[in-house]
């Protein structure tokens, strides 16, 4: 069964006999995969391709599932971790966990099989989840950047907004909005359009995805963090931010407290900028490639080994983004690091307690059996 917008170039090893005659802007080339080229039946996936890719996807799956689950758990269980920023980061981890659990196994099976065998519904669901989680991630990061700037620049004016209840409502709005913004992909899958209109729809959709759902939010984040850096480093009007410690004054302890607060804010901002930077690094190559393919600058298929491996790398990068954020939190946030260690310690204690309980129960049962036999 044919499934539109399945990224065939993720796993192609077709022999193109006449690549010079390919016209990437030809609408027929998009959906018929002909383009005056001869594609024999796809061979089995070579071991030297499938094994490294499977190992990498396996590492991403395990790290992403464990790391994101731990972030969600610590924010849900420990009250001290339920700050506004951490609630948004838990939402980000939930989106990453979705793409880890639903998309990575399907992506690898698609690579191994050289065909789509899961039906049209799962085809649509697979691509919808990818787009939905990307939108959810970028909107969450945008809201975090705006909230951090407002909290630092105008701490007293928005104090009534900074509650965990309102943060949860904001997360719900982000998820609902992401679900709505991802629906154009479904329209392109379920409607029967002439080939020419499909190409036009693809171009409009790629522009919509690249500009409205990627570049504009990233520009918003850049502006917010630039203004935040300006406030932190160049503003001396706010006593909470522009601090010059005075050791000989009576307010030395207060100045020290405020200086520590400023340093904590700087560390949080550095961690968030690292998360945004990784998102850009991991998703930009894939989105740029889609943009170039949609407008005919690159072929949808991969007639060269270089292009084939580049696109495999782009797919790996976009999925890898879903496992790196918990690692960033562990390295750059002392609170997350301590809580992660605490969770691991509790798990080890639980295992030890369970093992001791099992041994105790076994001994008790054995003693009862022996007493019965002796009678």
User: Which tokens is 92 given?
Assistant: 């980000």
Whether 36 is covered by a domain: the verdict is: no
Number of residues assigned to the chain: 375
* The token pair that represents 353 in the structure block: 């307690």
pLDDT band at 242 (very low <50, low <70, confident <90, very high): very low
> pLDDT tens digits for 27-73?
444 433 333 333 344 444 566 677 888 888 999 999 999 999 999 98
Please give the average per-residue pLDDT across 190-214, as a whole number: 77
- What is residue 93's predicted lDDT score, i.e. its pLDDT? 93
Q: What is the pTM of this model?
A: 0.75
Helix 84-102 vs helix 252-294: crossing angle, to nearest 10: 30
Q: How confident is the model at residue 187 (pLDDT cuts 50, 70, 90)?
A: confident
**20's tokens:** 């010079």
What integer is the mean pLDDT of 247-266? 61
In sequence order, what are the residues at sequence separation of 6 or more whose Cβ sits closer than 8 angstroms to the Cβ of residue 38? 15, 16, 17, 18
Does residue 99 fall inside a structural domain? yes
Weakest mean pLDDT among 11-25, 105-119, 230-244, 250-264: 11-25
Lowest mean pLDDT segment, chosen from 10-19, 72-81, 258-267, 312-321: 10-19
- φ, ψ of residue 303 to 5 degrees: the values are -75, -10
For residues 234-250, average pLDDT? 50
353 domain residue, yes or no: no
d(CA 149, CA 227): 7
Burial class (CB in 10 A: 0-12, 13-18, 19+), 237: exposed
**Phi/psi at 104 (nearest 5 deg)?**
-65, -45
Q: Is 243 helix (H, G, I), strand (E, B) or coil?
A: coil
As a whole number of angstroms, the distance between CA 46 and CA 210 comes to: 34
pLDDT for position 3: 47
Is the pLDDT assigned to residue 350 strictly greater than 60?
no
Residue 15: inside a domain, yes or no? no
Q: Two tokens at 227? A: 């203004």
Q: Kindly report the number of other CB atoms within 10 A of residue 297's CB atom.
A: 11
pLDDT at 368: 57
Supply φ then ψ for residue 145, to 5 degrees. -65, -40
136 within domain boundaries? yes
> Contact 206/188 with Cβ under 8 angstroms?
no
Lowest mean pLDDT, pick from 47-56, 203-212, 340-349:
340-349
pLDDT score of 351 more than 90? no
pLDDT tens profile 20-36: 444 454 444 443 333 33
Lowest-pLDDT choice from 194-208, 236-250, 274-288: 236-250
Q: Would you say residue 346 lies in a domain?
A: no
Residue 373 lies in a domain: no
> What confidence score (pLDDT) does residue 303 get?
63
Name, in order, each residue with C-beta under 8 angstroms of 117's C-beta and a sequence gap of 6 or more: 1
- The three-class DSSP label of residue 2 is coil
Instruction: State the average pLDDT for the chain.
Output: 74
Averaged pLDDT, 172-179: 95
Q: What is the CATH number of the domain that holds 225?
A: 1.20.1070.10
Left if phi > 0, otherwise alpha if psi is -120 to 50, otherwise beta: which for 35?
left
Most confident of 10-14, 156-160, 176-180, 353-357: 176-180
Question: Can you tell me the distance from the alpha carbon of 288 to that of 254, in angstroms, rounded to the nearest whole number?
Answer: 50
Domain annotation covers residue 172: yes
- CA dihedral of residues 333, 335, 336, 341 (deg, nearest 10): 120
- What total number of domains does the chain contain? 1
Question: Which pLDDT does position 296 carry in this prediction?
Answer: 79
Q: Check residue 247 and give its pLDDT.
A: 52
Tell me how crowded residue 106 is: count the other CB atoms within 10 A of its CB.
17
Region 90-110: mean pLDDT is 89
Asked whether the predicted pLDDT for residue 171 surpasses 60, the reply is: yes
What is the spatial distance between Cα 324 and Cα 64, in angstroms, rounded to a whole number? 7
Write out the two tokens for 87. Answer: 């609630």
Contact 329, 58 (CB under 8 A): no
pLDDT of residue 85: 86
142-170 pLDDT tens trace:
999 998 888 888 877 777 667 888 889 99
Over residues 221-238, the mean pLDDT reads 78
Q: Please tell me what DSSP assigns to residue 286.
A: H
Q: Give CA 245 to chain center in angstroms.
A: 41
Which domain covers residue 99, as residue numbers? 46-238+260-332
Q: What is the pLDDT of residue 219?
A: 92
Distance CA 304, CA 9 (A): 11
Residues 6+ away with beta carbon under 8 Å from 303: 14, 16, 19, 22, 37
The first and second tokens of residue 126, run together, are 């697979």
Burial of 331 (0-12, 13-18, 19+ CB in 10 A): exposed
């Amino acid at each position: 069964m044919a499934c539109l917008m399945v990224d065939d170039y993720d796993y192609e090893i077709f022999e193109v006999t006449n690549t010079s005659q390919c016209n990437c802007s030809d609408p027929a080339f998009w959906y018929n995969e002909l383009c005056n080229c001869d594609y024999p039946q796809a061979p089995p996936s070579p071991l030297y391709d499938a094994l490294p890719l499977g190992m990498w996807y396996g590492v991403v799956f395990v790290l992403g599932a464990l790391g994101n689950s731990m972030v969600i758990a610590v924010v849900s269980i420990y009250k001290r971790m339920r700050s506004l920023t951490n609630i948004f980061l838990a939402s980000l981890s939930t989106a990453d966990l979705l793409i880890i659990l639903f998309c990575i196994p399907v992506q690898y099976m698609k690579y191994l099989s050289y065909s789509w065998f899961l039906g049209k519904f799962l085809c649509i669901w697979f691509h919808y989840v990818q787009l939905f989680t990307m939108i959810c991630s970028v909107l969450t990061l945008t809201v975090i950047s705006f909230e951090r700037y407002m909290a630092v620049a105008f701490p007293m004016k928005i104090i009534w907004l900074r509650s965990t209840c309102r943060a949860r409502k904001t997360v719900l709005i982000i998820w609902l909005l992401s679900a709505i913004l991802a629906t154009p992909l479904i329209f392109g899958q379920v409607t029967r359009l002439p080939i020419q209109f499909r190409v036009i729809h693809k171009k409009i959709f790629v522009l919509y995805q690249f500009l409205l759902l990627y570049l504009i939010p990233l520009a918003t984040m850049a502006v917010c963090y630039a203004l935040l850096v300006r406030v932190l480093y160049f503003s001396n009007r706010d006593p909470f931010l522009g601090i010059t410690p005075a050791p000989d004054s009576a307010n030395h302890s207060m100045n020290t407290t405020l200086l520590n607060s400023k340093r904590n804010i700087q560390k949080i901002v550095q961690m968030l900028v690292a998360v945004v930077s990784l998102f850009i690094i991991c998703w930009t190559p894939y989105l740029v490639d889609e943009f170039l393919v949609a407008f005919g600058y690159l072929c949808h298929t991969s007639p060269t080994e270089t292009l084939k491996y580049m696109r495999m790398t782009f797919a790996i990068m976009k999925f890898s983004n879903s496992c790196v954020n918990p690692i960033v939190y562990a390295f750059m946030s002392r609170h997350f690091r301590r809580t992660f260690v605490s969770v691991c310690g509790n798990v080890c204690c639980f295992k030890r307690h369970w093992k001791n309980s099992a041994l105790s129960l076994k001994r008790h049962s054995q003693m009862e059996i022996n007493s019965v036999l002796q009678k």
